[in-house]
Amino acid sequence: MGAPCGCPSSSASQQQLNQLLEAVLAGSKYRHVDKDFILSIGASELRKRRSLKEAIKATRNKLHQVGGAYQQAVPQYARWLDELRQAAESRSDERDELVRTACRDIMRHHASTRERLPELDRFYNTILSDIAPVHSVIDVACGLHPLAIPWMPLAANARYYACDIYQDMMDFLNAGLPYLGVQGEAQVCDVIHACPTQRVEVAFLLKAIPCLEQLDPLAGRRLLETIHADHLVVSFPVASLGGRSKGMLMNYESHFVDMLGDKPWSFERFVFPTELVFLVRKQEHST
Ligand SMILES: C[S@@+](CC[C@H](N)C(=O)[O-])C[C@H]1O[C@@H](n2cnc3c(N)ncnc32)[C@H](O)[C@@H]1O
């Protein structure tokens, strides 16, 4: 590779960027990731690395850190959708229980939702008790978290928006949301570069900030400011993917307070075995 280039403006660097995109998309793990997201990581890595090969490797590593690490096996979206549909179409006296069982089984396949499973029965009722029933939600960097809808104190026909970087995951969620009794939409979105614009009562930013800050240290602060929500539910992991880590709780708590800075927002704090959660009252007014 020649001299580092600030942006892929020359045809040589544009060509390298195209080659990088093609190489990353060729692997089964990142085939469904938003192309613009890969391009933005790839452009940054091409600037920093000595060769195209190194930039491709570094891009794959970043994608693993922020997304791939949470999915241990190839997602079985067609089968999961079928399970959800069968549960939702079952007899009314057993439907709720069967839908919950299907959702639990599916959430086991994403590390972030899996570690929350033991807490589902009290997680949302504890955090959202003062503001239930919730009429509109945006779930930012959602992973499989929308499958927790049956445990959330939502109003009938609540609107539920979700976004993440995986197109196949968003397709699955779009097909599955109607079985969970909400109206809504899941969209592919890189929230580092495009903050969701929907105006809602509650925005979930669950365990997303540490992940986004690996690519942009100001991403969390920016999202807290720009998301149009009356309430933000912001959480941080207090156990790493590899196991418990001492000090995470204190570090994330002070980082969160630092991010809020002098914003005139009040907040409550909740500690669960694997998650530190803040309910922030921004008090915008949703429509
Ligand atoms: C730690 S997981 C949290 C998932 C979910 N919020 C939860 O707590 O169950 C982080 C999620 O962020 C997504 N992600 C990473 N970078 C993103 C970006 N720039 N824009 C949108 N989503 C992103 C990943 O694909 C992954 O699903």
DSSP string, 45-92: HHHHSSSHHHHHHHHHHHHHHHTGGG--S---HHHHHHHHHHHHTS-H
Verify whether ligand 1 is closer than 6 Å to residue 145 (CB atom).
yes
From the CA of 70, how far away is ligand 1's center (Å)?
9
Cβ atoms 58, 66 nearer than 8 A:
no
Atom of ligand 1 nearest to the CA of 166: 25
From the CA of 203, how far away is ligand 1's center (Å)?
14
DSSP state of 132: P
Query: Which residue would you say has higher pLDDT here, 287 or 42?
Result: 42
Residue 4 in this model has a pLDDT that exceeds 50 = no
Identify the sign of the CA torsion 237, 70, 83, 141.
positive
The pLDDT value given to residue 100: 98
From the CA of 152, how far away is ligand 1's center (Å)?
19
Share of the chain above pLDDT 70, in %: 92
- Best substitution site from 32, 39, 107, 112 to test ligand 1's pocket, by max atoms within 8 Å of Cβ? 112
Share of the chain above pLDDT 90, in %: 87
**For tokens 């093609």, what's the residue?**
22
Residue pLDDT, tens place only, 92-148: 999 999 999 999 999 999 999 999 999 999 999 999 999 999 999 999 999 999 999
In this prediction, residues 202-230 reach a mean pLDDT of 97
Q: Residue 283: left if φ>0, alpha if ψ -120 to 50, beta else—which one?
A: left
List phi, psi (to 5°) of 9: -85, -35
Residue 63 in this model has a pLDDT that exceeds 70 = yes
In this prediction, residues 65-90 reach a mean pLDDT of 96
Give which of 104, 65, 69 is closest to 83, Cα–Cα.
104
Number of neighbouring beta carbons within 10 Å of residue 197: 10
Atom of ligand 1 nearest to the CA of 66: 15
Verify whether ligand 1 is closer than 6 Å to residue 205 (CB atom).
no
In this prediction, residues 158-168 reach a mean pLDDT of 98
The pLDDT value given to residue 114: 96
Residue 286 in this model has a pLDDT that exceeds 90 = no
Q: Residue 118: left if φ>0, alpha if ψ -120 to 50, beta else—which one?
A: alpha
Instruction: Supply the residue whose CA is at minimum distance from atom 20 of ligand 1.
Output: 190
Give which of 77, 78, 183 is closest to 136, Cα–Cα.
183
* Secondary structure (3-state) at 19: helix
Q: How many CA atoms lie within 13 A of 47 on its CB side?
A: 11
| Identity of the amino acid at 173 | L
- Best substitution site from 33, 114, 164, 172 to test ligand 1's pocket, by max atoms within 8 Å of Cβ? 164
| Mean pLDDT score across all residues of the chain | 92
Instruction: Supply the residue whose CA is at minimum distance from atom 11 of ligand 1.
Output: 141
Residue 227 in this model has a pLDDT that exceeds 80 = yes
Verify whether ligand 1 is closer than 6 Å to residue 142 (CB atom).
yes
The pLDDT value given to residue 5: 42
In this prediction, residues 33-56 reach a mean pLDDT of 96
Using alpha carbons, list the distances in angstroms from residue 91 to 82, 97, 228.
16, 11, 39
The pLDDT value given to residue 52: 96
